[in-house]
Chains A and B, each alone.
Chain A
Amino acid sequence: MTDSEGGPDLTKDGPEDTVPAPASDAGRPLVVVEHVDKHFGELHVLKDINLTVNSGEVVVVIGPSGGGKSTLCRSINRLEPIDGGKILVDGKELPQEGKELAKLRADVGMVFQSFNLFAHKTILENVTLGPIKVRKQGKQESEKHAMELLDRVGIANQAHKYPAQLSGGQQQRAAIARSLAMRPKVMLFDEPTSALDPEMVNEVLDVMTGLAREGMTMIVVTHEMGFARRAAQKVVFMADGQIVEENTPDEFFTNARTDRAKDFLSKILTH
């Protein structure tokens, strides 16, 4: 921890409305990916991907670089358009570019590897922007909610600073708060700790583990095996544009079914 105020306080009970409570209809399919194909020029990056993520479920996507993990994550809120198949979020197919798509994106939180906080706005403005401009929520209400979220992720005292004044870990926690402020139905994490200095990885993972415990539906692309074991209900192993194995974390890490997964695990777990 680099900051004196400490990391996120997960023992503290967040205000009731900071995060959607575990949905009563947990188990309902929230993100459905059906026969999705995608090419980057010659490269076939997603090959007939099928995946269902239920409400309240935490799915960790792991696999070697270039295997299509990030592309899959980004295509779920259409930052990457797909060539074939379809993706449904909460029963609705992803619309084409336009107002409808913007509306859908507002319900899907996204946390990026490089944080992508708005560089010319303070942390508080970063968190309130979506609620004010997209949800048309009042400024006061948005700020109150934003401060609760920033408090939850442990950086309330940084609210009036600019992103560049914060450490990487603090920036990523702010980015998580920015996503949460939209009260998303599902959160996508695209390698959220890969750009962080090692000592800051845990402060971000702690926030994510807290979210998982509270029943947030999450799709997490990561290399953090510890997090996968601790927080995930399902591990999806991707390589060469395909989902090679879908398994529970326990099974996957101790007794992977496929050779490709075993090979990958042996390479990362031996040292």
Chain B
Amino acid sequence: MFDFGPFFDNFDEILNGFWGTVKLAAVSAVLSLLIGTVLASFRVAPVPLLRVLGTAYVNVVRNTPLTLVLLMCSLGLNDVLALTFSDNPGTTYYWWAVLGLSGYTGAFVCESLRAGINTVPLGQAEAARSIGLTFTQSLRIIILPQAFRAVIAPLGSVFIAMIKNTTVASAASYAEAAAAMKSLLDLPSFTSGALPLFIGVAIGFMILTLPTGFFFGWLHKRMAVAR
């Protein structure tokens, strides 16, 4: 039952799958941070239209299952509407997975960041305005840097969830670790060793997520703003 043979026999494919996971997660992390920051800025902007846009986006995307978001991207936008990034299916599905996952995670980043903005004392914004900074300047130079520092640890949780959410991208035709695992399980020659395979892939995810958690925890302590 605990025969790790098949797991190590197919180690290369699994490793390949994890490389797909890392590629997807790394680019999505950067992009979702950007999207989240823009959304959070919208949600606190003095312009009502921006606030409405930000709120609507977050509420729609955050309440839609990720599978649906990713299938919408791959099957809906890519296949049906033929909005492709490239003629190479691997490349186009990769970018749709990145966009879908970033757009989804961005909503959560936005909400974390908004919680962070609420921890910044009102006086900071008033002082920023009183020396003549515009709204955008005070957001960019005074408010957001402090908000980010306050939510580094919660953002770590968002990114851990995001790394695990990459597995959903296998449903959207993107080859990552879970897809590699599934294709191994589906092989007719695969008769035993399913449990070790699960354990191995789970450990693989922990190797990605545990350091992420530790890193964000460390960064949070290091960057904390003393008041």
Contact = CB atoms under 8 A, between A and B. Distances in A.
Interface string A10-24: 000000000000000
Contacts of A98: 134
Binding site of B, secondary structure by majority: helix, strand, loop or mixed? helix
B23 interface: no
A237 interface: no
B227 A182 contact: no
Interface stretch (A113-121, A219-227, A248-256): A113-121
A103 interface: yes
Interface in A159-217: 162-165, 175, 178-179, 182
Contact of A133 (B46, B121, B141): B141
B175 to A, nearest CB: 42
Given A97-B46, A114-B123, A118-B142, A162 B131 contact: no
Interface in A127-142: 129-130, 133-134
B145 A134 contact: no
A182 B46 CA distance: 25
A119 B132 contact: no
A116 B226 contact: no
Contacts of B142: 118
A59 to B, nearest CB: 19
Interface residues of B, number: 23
Given A120-B225, A133-B137, A133-B141, A77 B127 contact: no
A123 B127 CA distance: 14
Given A112-B123, A114-B123, A102 B225 contact: no
A77 B130 contact: yes
A79 interface: yes
Nearest to A110: B130
Contact of B124 (A104, A116, A175, A182): A116
Given A119-B225, A133-B141, A182 B132 contact: yes
The 7 A-B pairs at the shortest CB distance, nearest first, are namely: A106-B132, A164-B226, A116-B127, A130-B131, A116-B123, A110-B130, A134-B132
